[in-house]
Structure 1
Amino acid sequence: MKFSRVRLLAAGVVLVGSAVLVPGAFASAPSGFTATTLVTADLDQTVKINSDRVKLQTKEPTDVRVQRIVIAAGGSSGWHHHPGVVIIAIDSGSLTFWDSECNATTYGPGLPNGSVLTESGDEPGQVTSVNGGTSYTTFIAPSADPPVFRIEDNPPPCATRVG
């Protein structure tokens, strides 16, 4: 009986300690990041297109959103991931994508990596800009009510090196 009380007390301390940490979650908020939604629409039918060496396939209805995203000089999207697929076409400036291992790849008009990047998967990523950048971003996500296009993440351990 005494042993059970000690275990119960220890579990209570852990739960209370966790509750104190949760409100100050470790997710990183965007800064200098402005997203303007241009359109959100339902793609209710499945799609199977394979034309001119380009393939697009959906297996169920999806939600589609197009946004104009501006990241100010020194700005950041914060660590996050997206359900489905994201295609980011950079109109001006440059954007650096940081993956969950803190590997950085910079994109923009005239740069060696090109001016389009894609995001997908459950691993956290972050987009930053040293000098500012504007993109037009298309999200294709599984259908949900309400639609979910972005999920906030805690920074990965390597993020202390990159901010």
Structure 2
Amino acid sequence: MTKAEELLAAARATGDRIATAESCTGGMIGAAITDVAGSSDIFDRGFVTYSNAAKTAMLGVDPWLIETHGAVSEPVARAMAEGALDRAHASLAVAVTGIAGPGGSDHKPEGRVCFALAATGRRTRTETVDFGAIGRARVRQATVDHALDLLLAATRG
């Protein structure tokens, strides 16, 4: 059973509906979920907000947060997840923003991804994972896998 299949079963059992807010993955998390037949039971919508302007327009991310912390930051990931939750018919929202590569900087290296998980009635969780300079495709896939793990954990309490 894939992680997405596990998530579908767990969310069905808890009655959770899911939304995604994606930057560096460009919709891959939503695609992984909707690859599973019957995912419409639990998946409401996905926001692909690759640009900073899209983060602001679609999710309500304050431009000040982006200017102050940078798009790849936990405060921006938090705002993305909370914005998705506010704009969707969902009880869980995961957000990702990162530097898939190639490139990066000393301050924000390639492979750094900030995650946030917002859930109705719960405090939003954020974390940063440094996957390393493992290549764009592998960073993006690792991000999808980690986001699915966060959602799965949230359905289990």
TM-score by length of 2: 0.29
Larger Rg: 1
Please state which structure has a larger fraction of its residues in helix. 2
TM-score by length of 1: 0.28
